[in-house]
Structures are given as C-alpha cells and as structure tokens.
Amino acid sequence: MSGVAPPPDWLARLQAAAAQPPRKPREPLWAGSALIGSVEPDFPKRIGQQSAPTVREVLQKTERDGVTGWQLHGDPTAALGLIAFAMRDAGLAGAWRDEQLAVADENGVRVGTVERAAVRPLGIATHAVHLAARSPDGRHWVQQRALTKANDPGLWDTLMGGLVSAADSLEQALERETWEEAGLRVPQLQGVRRGGLIPTRRPSADGGGAGYVVEHIAWFECVLPAAVAPDNQDGEVSQFALLRPQEVLARLVAGEFTLEAALVLCAAGL
C-alpha cells in the first residue's frame, strides 16, 4: 500500500451514498414464505396488473403480520418472467439483456431466477464481482466504461466489475468477467485473493425512478505482471489506464469513478 488516504469527510459521504433509503416507501415482495424484494405501492398498477389477467394471476396484494405487500403465485421464475415482460412492455424495465440472475430469500437460499432488467424495480438483491489490480510497482490498473453503457457511461471503474449471473458461481463470474472485460485469464494474474464483501443499498433510476439497488459486491485483488496488459473483448470498455495512487485518489474525489469502484478501491487501500 502507498499510504495515500482519502479525506475523512469524502469517505463518509461515499459510505453514506452506499447506504441510502428508498426515495419512496416500498412494500415487500414475497415468493411463498420468502421475502425476495420490494416494490413501490403503485408499481403493479403501472405495469398493468389491474388489466392484464396473466400478471394479476401471479402477483396479488396480501397482508402478513399487519404488513401490506405483494405475493407471487406459482413457480417464482415463471411468475417473475411474466412480470419482467410486462415491465418491458410498460417501459419500466432496465436494459434488456436476456440474462437470468438468481433470486434468493433473506438467508441467501435461491428460490428462482429473473431477467436482469427487472431486478432494480423489484428491489431484488444482486451479487457483483470486482477485481482491483495493481502493477508490480504499486500503480492501479483501471478501466473507463464505454459511453454506450446503460449505467455510468464514461466513468472510471476497477479493472473488472460485473454482476454474477444465475449460471455462475462467484469464481466462474470472476473468470468470465475478467476475460470479457480485460482479456485476461485468471492464471495470468499474481496473488489473486478475495478481499471482502461490500453491501450497498440506494435508489435507482430503473423503473422510471422506482428502482432500488440491493447489491453485495465481492471484491478480489491481484497483481498484473509487468509484461501483461488488459485488452477488452466485449466492447464495453473505452480504455484502460495505469495510474499512481495519488492520481486514483484525485479522480475518486472528483467523482470520476463509479460508486462501486470507489468503495472497492478504498477497501483495497490506495
């Protein structure tokens, strides 16, 4: 570590930004007895729940222990699929990816899957993986997100960051995303280790502003050998840069990094 430390007031603001309440009150979303997410009270009406029989059959108002919420009926994956398509038709889904993410209860037990574009408006918890990488001399490898990205276009990020799909374990997601975003295989990296887990909660613009992010970021760190350089494979990275810790800190404080990357880089130490 270089010993470079972010200003305490800035770090406090960063941490506060990662632990925000919803903009509006939200109601629980249940699948069977499992609490899997939350929605704004008028959300079902906005996706046509009142007029679409298929949606009305799988999503119904209910009350539990004095708490009003919404209950999925039938197979959770099938029910969430119907709701996701209704959200897309209503213009309330995020960028459609044809990618399924795991849906779990409060204890992390999987109960189904859902299209990635639907998770934020439904307040469903997601899992992400990030890789903080240094050069042998202590500089940081970082990437600038492509201007075509749906979220945080043009901002700087860790060497690699992405959501964990329902088909992947954490280790598989690390391998896949490292190749897709940086063109690197895990065996090329030195000293790969898991650093920790960072929880985040904050409002999201998805769903017409009715989204809520609940995400668990598993971050890893490594060293890239001097002869190794990243090379993007999926077109979602504008450029890579190798920055001294002081340069990274300056850009962090200036707001040039994503919130997730800022949290990971601070946790990894500058």
pLDDT, position 49: 63
Give the CB-side neighbour count of residue 176, counting CA atoms within 13 A: 13
For residue 1, is pLDDT > 80? no
**The pLDDT of residue 44:** 85
pLDDT digits (tens, 9 = 90+) for 106-118: 999 999 999 999 9
- All domains of the chain, ordered by start, with CATH? 8-20+126-268 (3.90.79.10), 27-118 (3.30.750.160)
Hey, what are 226's tokens? Answer: 């001097």
- Please list, in sequence order, all residues whose beta carbon lies within 8 angstroms of the beta carbon of residue 263, skipping any fewer than 6 positions away: 14, 15, 18, 198, 200, 217
- What is the percent of the chain with per-residue pLDDT over 90, rounded to a whole number? 89
User: Which CA distances in Å does 195 have to 168, 230, 236, 265?
Assistant: 19, 21, 25, 11
Query: What are the angstrom distances between the C-alpha of 134 and each of 1, 98, 176, 243?
Result: 10, 33, 20, 9
Q: Which percentage of the chain shows pLDDT scores above 70?
A: 98
> Is the predicted pLDDT of residue 51 greater than 60, yes or no?
no
- 116 alpha-carbon distance from chain centroid: 10
Q: Is the pLDDT of residue 198 over 80?
A: yes
For residue range 139-154, what is the model confidence (pLDDT) as tens digits?
999 999 999 998 999 9
- Average pLDDT over the chain, rounded to an integer: 95
> Is the pTM for the entire model greater than 0.85?
yes
Range from 2-6, 48-52, 69-73, 98-102 carrying the lowest mean pLDDT: 48-52
pLDDT band for position 101 (cuts 50, 70, 90): very high
